[in-house]
Amino acid sequence: MNGVHDMGGMHGFGKVEPEANEPTFHAPWEGRVLAVQRAMRFTRAWNIDMSRDAQERLPAQLYLSASYYHRWALGMERNALEQGLIDADEFAVGHALRPGKPVARVMTMNDVGQAFTRGSFSRPPSQQARFKPGDRVHTKNINPASHTRLPRYARGREGVIEALRGCHVFPDSVTTGGGENPQWLYTVVFNGRLLWGPNVDPTLTVSVEAFEPYLEPA
Residues 26-85 binding another protein (CB under 8 A) are 26-27, 29, 31-36, 38-40, 43, 45, 48, 52, 55, 64, 68, 70, 73, 76-77, 80, 85
Cα–Cα dist 182/167, whole Å: 6
- The nearer residue to another protein, 64 or 142, going by C-beta atoms, is 64
Which residue among 84, 88, 119, 127 contacts another protein (CB under 8 A)? 119
DSSP string, 149-188: SS-GGGTT-EEEEEEEEEEE--HHHHTTTS----EEEEEE
Which residue among 61, 84, 88, 113 contacts another protein (CB under 8 A)? 113
Which residue among 50, 167, 169, 215 contacts another protein (CB under 8 A)? 169
Site for another protein in 129-148 (CB under 8 A): none
Q: Taking contact as CB under 8 A, which single stretch among the options 22-30, 125-133, 134-142, 172-180 is the one that binds another protein?
A: 22-30
Cα–Cα dist 181/168, whole Å: 9
Residue 67 CB, shortest distance to another protein, in Å, is 8
Contact 54, 78 (CB under 8 A): yes
Task: List CB contacts of 39: < 8 A, sequence separation 6 or more.
Answer: 106, 107, 115
Which residue among 165, 176, 181, 193 contacts another protein (CB under 8 A)? 165
**Nearest Cα to Cα of residue 5 among 180, 148, 132, 163:** 148
Q: Is 194 in the site for another protein (CB under 8 A)?
A: no
Cα–Cα dist 25/190, whole Å: 36
Task: Please give the size of the binding site for another protein, defined by CB under 8 A.
Answer: 93
Please compute, for residue 99, the number of CA atoms within 13 A of its CA located in the half-sphere on the CB side: 3
Q: Taking contact as CB under 8 A, which single stretch among the options 120-128, 129-137, 138-146, 172-180 is the one that binds another protein?
A: 120-128
